[in-house]
A and B are shown apart, each in its own frame.
Chain A
Amino acid sequence: MSKFLYTQEKEQEFQRLIIKYPNSDSMMLPALWLVQEQIGWVSPESMIFVADKLGKQPIEVHSFASFYTMFNLKPIGTHHIELCKTLSCMLMGSRDLKQHIKDTIGITPGQTSDDGLFHLTEVECMGACGGAPALAINGKYHEKITCSGLDKLVKECKSCK
């Protein structure tokens, strides 16, 4: 297992944040976010790294990370599509979008496309109900999305690699 280390920039951010809290335990979420921003997921090596930094056992970090659904505990595709499935989005057509993604990219929720470009997650309410149906690609929200609008976004993703 190769060792995980923050980049210099992430390390600086970690040091900037840790003094904001009365107890370093509060750094669990920020520390894992820094990991995921750096490598796209939370690897076992990174959990050991975070545990060492915060004086925890690696299993405590795993227990914590596995509770919060936004942390990817496995590597995922380059472009992470998060499709909202909760009520307002369902009423406004999220199921059509899910079918469209299956038809055009060939993936269902939880899957990564063969070329590794796309990963689809069906998520619960994103707080974009007024713009339903909504999805996010790599964290960026896109609202009132139609199938053709989705095609355009997918094309953009492909062109930017």
Chain B
Amino acid sequence: MQVKIVSKNFNIPDSHLLDVALKNGRYSTVEKLFSMNPDDVTQEVVNSGLRGKGGGGAPCGPKWKMMPKDDPRPSYLIVNGDESEPGTFKDRQIFEYDPHLLIEGIICSSYAMNIHEAYIYIRGEYKFWSDRVDAAIEEAYKAGIIGEKIMGHDFSLNITVHRGGGAYICGEKSALIESLEGKRGHPRLKPHQKECEWFFGNPATVNNVETIASVPYIVENGFGAYRAHGTKSSPGTMLFAMSGPVKNPGVYELPFGEKMIDFLNVLGGGMLDGKKLKALIPGGSSCPILTAEEVQTAVLDYESMWDIGSTLGTGGMIVIDDSANMVEVAKNLIEFYHHESCGQCTPCREGTSWIDKILKNVLEGSGSESDLNTILDVCGTMNGKTICVFAPAVSDIIVSIVKKFRHEFIAEFNKQK
């Protein structure tokens, strides 16, 4: 079931150290990389169908092609390691067990886009992991793998770790750049046409950690080898995470297209003793919830998940058992979003606060069925009327819980009478 492309070295002791990493194939793509034309590297990534692993699933290659050609300004690569989506803890594994794979990926991606400065934005809470990546970068500089004329080739590259300060919204790429520019992490208005990002007015590309870590395999083995895994429209693999009351929670690399229930029962080991599956949030808390019934037939690729009205997101699954009260689940999630809303757009700032208050009242015993209509109404106001996708995501998850578990809300109201 597992296919180890990104996670190949995760189980090797001390795999984060350069000498161990070198013995296990790290930086072996560099020679081939420099024998290729940068545009050919980009084309290889386009052909591989590699999709962004940060949640959106947008194709990576076409994004690289949006970088302006022959621009006199310096270009930047910004690696998004702000991993804060509840249920998601996959990039952390790359930082911990194979930081040199990430560096190798940055070398490949930077060469393809003619970039000489890269930043890795790592969430502030991940101090241990940002220190580990820092140490790996230091080793790579000393060994001449990055810096001036890397590994003897006429190409220089600097990599800097930038530590976040504890704001979920900085995982949104334009908010991340704002934060990197020393401002509050407020997402930017999106341009009318698709274009690259801008860092202090210079062209920039933002890619997720796992996306970048997938690039060396594609460069080394060609797009065909990557496409040999997964499905036609969701090629390759993804680090799927599983948490909640299961026997073996953790991160596992799977090709796209596997059955969710197999993942849960085989790798996840099934539910903890005596627990029964009630629901599952598929890809980080921003993805519409699935009932136990839907989980039986769900397939782990982008298109299949869209077909059943949810999304694959970051692949971080939260398993919910039958002892959980779904009103409490909804309250827990809305508290998260209320806390993390950047406050820029009124529908999001006020909407998350209202729903939080309504659900608090419900749990304290003063709820009524009309509250559900108010919640759906507020969600309608949040969806599609804000600068970034934070509010639509809140709306999606809350609406899905209210609609699929309406009976539990009703039971909560009746309990109080």
User: Which residues from chain A sit less than 8 Å from chain B, CB to CB?
Assistant: 17, 20-23, 25-30, 32-33, 54, 63-64, 67-71, 82, 85-88, 90-92, 123-132, 136, 139-141
Flag whether B288 is at the interface (Cβ < 8 A).
no
| Given A68-B166, A130-B250, CB of A141 within 8 Å of CB of B89 | no
**Cβ-defined contact, A130 with B184, below 8 A:** no
**Cβ-defined contact, A68 with B182, below 8 A:** no
25 A-B pairs within 8 Å (CB atoms) are namely A20-B158, A22-B200, A25-B181, A29-B162, A29-B164, A29-B179, A32-B165, A69-B165, A69-B166, A69-B167, A70-B166, A86-B332, A86-B333, A87-B87, A87-B333, A124-B335, A127-B89, A128-B89, A129-B88, A129-B89, A129-B244, A129-B249, A130-B243, A139-B125, A141-B128
Closest-CB distance, A117 to chain B (whole angstroms): 21
Which of A21, A25, A129, A132 has the largest number of chain B CB atoms within 10 A? A129
**Chain B interface residue count: which class?**
35 or more
**Cβ-defined contact, B182 with A127, below 8 A:** no
**Cβ-defined contact, B127 with A26, below 8 A:** no
**Cβ-defined contact, A130 with B242, below 8 A:** yes
Tell which of A21, A87, A88, A127 touches B84, judged by Cβ atoms closer than 8 Å.
A127
A127's nearest neighbour on chain B, judged by CB, is B89
Closest-CB distance, B196 to chain A (whole angstroms): 16
B73's nearest neighbour on chain A, judged by CB, is A22
What A residues does B158 contact at CB under 8 A? 20
Q: Beyond A69-B166, A87-B281, A125-B86: 18 further Cβ-contacts under 8 Å?
A: A25-B181, A27-B182, A29-B164, A29-B165, A30-B162, A33-B163, A63-B184, A67-B167, A67-B184, A70-B164, A70-B166, A87-B87, A87-B318, A87-B333, A88-B87, A125-B168, A127-B83, A129-B89
Chain B 153-164 near chain A by CB (<8 Å), digits 1 or 0:
000001010111
